[in-house]
Amino acid sequence: MPDSPHIRLLPPDVANKIAAGEVVERPASVLKELFENAIDSGATQVGVAIVAGGARLVSVADNGSGMDRDDALLSVERHATSKIREADDIGHIRTLGFRGEALAAISSVCRFRLCTRRASDLAGSELIMSGGKVQDLREAGCPPGTLIEVRDLFFNMPARRKFLRSPQTETGHLRQTFLVHALGCPAVGMSLTIDGRDAWALAGGSTHGERIRELFGREMMEGVRPVEGRSEAASLTGFVSLPTLNRGDRGEQYVFINGRPSSAPVINYAIREAYHNLLADGRHPYVFLFIELPPEAVDVNVHPTKREVRFRQPSDIRDLIISGIRRALMESGGEFIRGKTDPSVFVEAVSIPAQTAFSSFKVDDLPPTRILGYPHPSAPENGATPSARRQEPEAADPLVPQREPPGATGGKSPWAWCRIVGQVGGLYVLMETDDGYVVMDPHAAHERVLFEKFMNSVAGGTIESQGLLVPESVELPPRDAMLVRKNLDLLKKMGIGVSEFGGDTFMVDALPAGFNDVRIREMLADVAHHLETLGERGSHTRWREEAIAQAACKAATKARDRLSLAELERLVVQLAATEMPYTCPHGRPTLIHTSFKELAKRFGRE
């Protein structure tokens, strides 16, 4: 047998490259580490420049405290840091960085330049490295603060360089990293330059609300509400969206703990619980939360990249978030009431004007009802039911399809005829049919109608696209913009006239027929997200089905929309003519049917 290998200490350059595998995943990881160092230095202004998706250059300049010659040389050594001194300091971290391994790892896999000066020094220091080896250290003229340039990332690790994505994809990740840190530090002025062009210029001294408006636009601020809360353990501020503003993933949920962008399972649970019964399954709110608590109450040394933290008292943080979000939603103008059976559940109350209180409703006040026929009625098995014999069609209305003789065709209509009684609960539509009564969810029903109409157009290659009177510019978060950019051709095939307008802004000048009232920004983000996530596991047809279902959901009548009798009748007729009238594209029921036979049993008449 060969001798067992001896244990040896790895050379410093090898150890640094191994560490770089954990710290430096892509150019955005470099930007994150340099950003944290700049903010920890006390900078009030940070400038970022990237070239070729960061593969050629990632540069971060700040006006912070700077370093002298000795500290500049020591900063690129492993485990060299100014932020902690002893083991006990790890439990009281007040800075974003603390391990002292980022610059050593970064400088080992790139061509590295550091230029720094303290305000009290007459001259600064310039350090040049290549692949972890010092090339030069000299005196240099530079403004107070620190400039770090990372060029040719992974030039000495070809295998890692091959894993970098396209410059557009890497630029999207870099923009997202910039956005996250800009959200967390609104007091710091920040700028971003991409390939020589200015992408963002954010003023310092801003509030969280002002920074969100700068990054996400005025439309976002109109759909969110401020959150405030305080307990013995922590304080909470931020903004959360109303239930009407939502998306298909958690990509726009930002949580900052003592200024650090991070999260924890208990925070995700608290957000879900706060919106319990307010959002449909698979829908998520926009969240911007800022939690402040004593450093010893949170452990940030859990994840190598500090993405996840652990709380000493997680239940206090959970209760603070739930109560803060619910209070914000209750004060938003809509009424929310606590459920009787489960005190943790909030249910939206129906808002009824004083002049139409329940006590004032009379039979004569109800809208007139009409019997509706359908394109494909089916004959009752045992002849007309008693209710059918009692109800006779009124005079023909040219706007309402009339009932054909039973048995004329053999379609898939859920009923031979129906009579709309009205809306109950401000939402659901109650209808009498030939063999019972039906409760319809108009939002789910409208989703099904739009979905099948659009799918039929896609299958036939005859998508009707309607031009907008005024084209609308839409600015998306970097992550969403990257997905839309990758799927522009497919979006156009779906009838969405969208084109790039510079940066993360897109111009939309046409929408599919029937999708006029959709929120364009929300629809673009949701459709692109579904195209991205389903592309890895589904066929091309599956991509389009999911994307169209999401678009139909956005375009469908909203849950609290008041519909006229004519609108209800039109929707009922259209639903009855669909191939699958019983569920929406997401699988939720559109109709709940109760037969007269079942009703008779409940009253003990059988």
Secondary structure tally for the chain: helices H, strands E: 18, 27
Rounded distance between C-alpha atoms, residue 125 and residue 142, angstroms: 8
Residue 382 has pLDDT above 50, yes or no: no
Structure tokens at 265: 């399972």
State the pLDDT confidence band at 554, using cuts at 50, 70 and 90: low
Q: For Cα atoms 5, 11, 17, give the angle at the middle one, nearest 5 degrees.
A: 110
Residue 367 has pLDDT above 80, yes or no: no
User: CATH 3.30.565.10 region(s) of the chain?
Assistant: 12-204
Structure tokens at 153: 């990332």
328 or 476, greater pLDDT: 328
The highest-confidence range among 171-185, 236-250, 303-317, 475-489, by mean pLDDT, is: 171-185
12 or 213, greater pLDDT: 213
- Tokens 């979905």: give the residue: 451
- Identify the CATH number of the domain defined by range 223-348: 3.30.230.10
Over residues 409-419, the pLDDT tens digits come to 344 677 878 88
Rounded distance between C-alpha atoms, residue 593 and residue 468, angstroms: 40
Q: Give the mean model confidence (pLDDT) for residues 76-89.
A: 70
- What pLDDT was estimated at residue 545? 58
Asked if residues 24 and 105 have their Cβ atoms less than 8 Å apart, the reply is yes
Over residues 40-60, the pLDDT tens digits come to 999 999 999 999 999 999 999
Task: Outline where DSSP puts E strands in 118-204.
Answer: 124-130, 133-140, 145-151, 189-194, 197-202
- What pLDDT was estimated at residue 379? 40
User: CATH 3.30.1540.20 region(s) of the chain?
Assistant: 355-441+563-602
Residues sharing a CB contact under 8 Å with residue 568, sequence separation 6 or more, in sequence order: 420, 423, 429, 442
User: CATH 3.30.230.10 region(s) of the chain?
Assistant: 223-348
Residues sharing a CB contact under 8 Å with residue 145, sequence separation 6 or more, in sequence order: 41, 43, 61, 62, 63, 64, 65, 66, 116, 117
State the pLDDT confidence band at 421, using cuts at 50, 70 and 90: confident
Percent of the residues in the chain that have a pLDDT greater than 90, as a whole number: 34
Q: Specify the CATH architecture of the domain 355-441+563-602.
A: 2-Layer Sandwich (3.30)
Q: Give the mean model confidence (pLDDT) for residues 233-262.
A: 90
Rounded distance between C-alpha atoms, residue 324 and residue 81, angstroms: 37
Over residues 500-510, the pLDDT tens digits come to 888 788 899 98
- What pLDDT was estimated at residue 393? 41
Write out the DSSP string of 39-63.
HHTT-SEEEEEEEGGGTSEEEEEE-
3-state secondary structure of 290: strand
- Domain 444-555 in this protein, CATH class: alpha beta
Structure tokens at 404: 């054909």
Q: How many beta carbons lie within 10 A of that of residue 277, not counting itself?
A: 13
Q: pTM here? A: 0.68
- What pLDDT was estimated at residue 404? 42
Residue 573 has pLDDT above 70, yes or no: yes
Q: Name the DSSP letter for residue 76.
A: T
3-state secondary structure of 574: helix
Q: Give the mean model confidence (pLDDT) for residues 49-76.
A: 95
- Identify the CATH number of the domain defined by range 12-204: 3.30.565.10
